[in-house]
Structure 1
């Protein structure tokens, strides 16, 4: 690469601006404008790419709607009722509250599509439950909440999968289906590890809830448990698109919290809308920056160059997937997941297609890698969130996270080597890939 070329200079500018503290979306826009200026191209292309990308892609609208749905669930009593339901069924085992943490993440995964929403919402409550009376150390409880939260965006719905569909043209519906088995596999791996740790550390056993109380607890949690059914049922019955389903999810969460449970005030509603708007705006700027920078990458013909380079290594499809896993896991240590999805993954997609790798399988592998990046030191966004929630040192948290990372890496290897773990359910529903 010519270090004095417009592309090289724009990369240096983006990196420098990001290190100086400018949000990465703004940095990509600034670097792209600089590239167009140095290359003698029309700088008005920046606005054109943003407008075409943001306003033509209807699927982008699903992102703020799912964020709003998650916020509405967190301000009401939906999360609390969900935890009580999970406690009634798995709390009686050794390390019961740890299993409750995992089970609630599986169920919550069918509602929000966001790992951060899971950690910041039910994560706060389960942290208090686990550390009360010194039952579990604060660092273990925080570590478990962090790693269980990554299951959320793997089991549908999933905001990262929506973003992947945007850059790959893969079917969102089949991507959602493809994430079910890998998400459950990862949760089962976490449960198995918790069971082993519980025996070794002699974790407490919660008092079993009498069977006569189970119907009442289930009934009170029933509206919450119906949310994934309403959401996914609408998508796979053909009644709603994924974007429309996101709107239904937000409306359903508001209806249940405000009308059925009567646990939301106008002040709570205002705060949830404000938080959702801020989060959506930050993601929107990142999308805008990526759209412009991807135009630069296309002009420079970077995907074709990468494809030619990798073809020269004569990689098999499996070899390419292993290389992608290593690359994304390393990048996940230092980069935010959405940036990887929007900037790095589009460069890899042409090579994956040329090797005959299924785009749904590739998408799920990519999303799992990015989710693992949320709990991989040193960057791990969820690690920083949980250190603030639990008020524990990062070092102690990382030590408790590492065993879970090992079993999740094993689950990632399984879905990489055995594509049918991802594609079985989509094919059952008519996918021809």
Structure 2
């Protein structure tokens, strides 16, 4: 690569700006404008790419709406009731609260679509519950909450899958369906690790909830449990698009929290709007930056160049998927997941199509990789979040995360080598891929 070429200079500038602390979205916009200047192209193209990309993709609107739905759940008592329901189901087993942590992530996954929302929404509550009276060490509770949170964006709805659909034109509905079995497989791998560790470290058994109380607990949690049914039922019956379903999810969470549970104040409502706006803005700037930078990548013909290089290597579809897995896992150690999804993944999509790899299968594998990246040191964003919540040193949380990380990589290998684990459910609903 010629280091004096406009594209090389652009990469150097983007990297330097990011290391200096500028948000990666802003860095990509600045670097891309510099490229247009150096290449003698119209710098107004940057604004054109952002406007066309942001306003012509209706699906982007679902991102802030899913974030808002998660915030409305957190300010109400929906999460508390779900936690009580999960404890009634699995709290009676050895290591019961650890299993509760994973089960609540499975249920919460059908509502928020965000790993960070899951960790932030229930992380503090699970940390307090698990460490009370010395039941579990603070580092183990934090590690488990971090790894269980990655289930959220794999089981639908999923903000990363929405973004993948944006760059690949794959069906969001079938991507959502494709994530169900992989998400449950991830949860199963975590529960196996918990079960083994519980016997070895003699984790406590929680006081069983009497069976006569289970109907009342279920009834109190029923409106919360119905949220995934309303959301996904609307999508797969064709009544709603994913974007409309995200709006319905936000409205449903607000109505249940305010009208039924009566647990929301005006201050809570305002704070949830403010938090959602800030989070949505940060993601929106990243999407805007990726739209401009992807134009630069297209002008430089990078995807076709990568396709030609990989073709020369004569990789099989399986070999290509292994290569992508390794690269994404390594990148996840140092880069934020959304940046990987919007910048790196588009380069691989033409090659995946040329090799006959199904884009729904490829998308789910990519999202699982990116979610694992959230718990891989040194960058792992969820590890930092839980270190902040728990007050534990990061090295202890990383230590307790490693067995789960190994189990999740094994689950990722199963998804990679057995496409039917992803595609079976979409095909049951008519997917022809």
TM-score by length of 2: 1.00
Q: What is the rounded CA distance, in whole Å, between the counterparts of 1:349 and 1:98 in structure 2?
A: 38
Structure 1 position 372 matched with structure 2 position 372:
yes
Say whether 1:75 aligns with 2:87: no
Other structure's SS at 2:13 match = helix
For residues 231-272 of structure 1, the C-alpha deviation after alignment (integer angstroms, 9 at most, x for no partner) is 000000000000000000000000000110000001000000
1:385 positional shift: 0.2
Stretches of structure 1 lacking an aligned partner (at least 5 in a row) = none
Which residue does 1:299 correspond to in 2? Answer: 299
Question: Corresponding residue for 2:193?
Answer: 193
Which residue of the partner structure matches residue 425 of structure 1? Answer: 425
For the pair 1:406 / 2:406, whether they are aligned, the reply is yes
Structure 2 counterpart of 1:288: 288
Q: For residues 128 and 239 of structure 2, what CA distance do their matches in structure 1 show?
A: 40
Residue matched to 1:87:
87
The count of aligned residue pairs is 433
Question: Is 1:99 paired with 2:76?
Answer: no
> Distance between the aligned counterparts of 1:13 and 1:193, measured in 2?
44
Q: 1:240 and 2:221 equivalent?
A: no
Q: Report the alpha carbon displacement of residue 130 of structure 1 after superposing the two structures with TM.
A: 0.3
> CA offset at residue 123 of structure 1?
1.4
Task: Provide the residue aligned with 1:270 in structure 2.
Answer: 270
Q: CA deviation at 1:376?
A: 0.4
Matches within 5 A, 1:23-38: 23-38=23-38
Cα distance, 1:80 vs structure 2: 0.5
**1:114 corresponding residue in structure 2:** 114
2:9 equivalent to 1:12: no
C-alpha separation in 2, matches of 1:127 and 1:230: 30
**Cα distance, 1:369 vs structure 2:** 0.1
**Secondary structure of 1:207 counterpart:** coil
What does residue 216 of structure 2 align with?
216
* SS in structure 2 at match of 1:122: helix
Shift of 1:124: 1.2
Q: In the alignment, does 2:180 pair up with 1:180?
A: yes
- The equivalent of 2:45 in structure 1 is 45
Whole-angstrom CA distance in 2 between matches of 1:103 and 1:281: 31
4+ residue segments displaced more than 6 Å: none
Q: Please give the alpha-carbon distance, in whole angstroms, between the structure 2 residues aligned to 1:122 and 1:335.
A: 25
SS in 1 for 2:194: helix
Stretches of structure 2 that go unaligned for 5 or more consecutive residues are none
How far apart are residue 122 of structure 1 and its match?
1.2
1:325: Cα distance to partner? 0.1
Distance (Å, rounded) in 2 between the aligned partners of 1:397 and 1:122? 17
Provide the rounded CA distance (Å) in 1 between the counterparts of 2:211 and 2:375. Answer: 37
After superposition, what is the alpha-carbon deviation per residue over 1:68-126, rounded to whole angstroms, capped at 9, x for unaligned?
00011011111110000000010000000000000000000000000000000111111
Q: Secondary structure at the match of 1:111?
A: helix
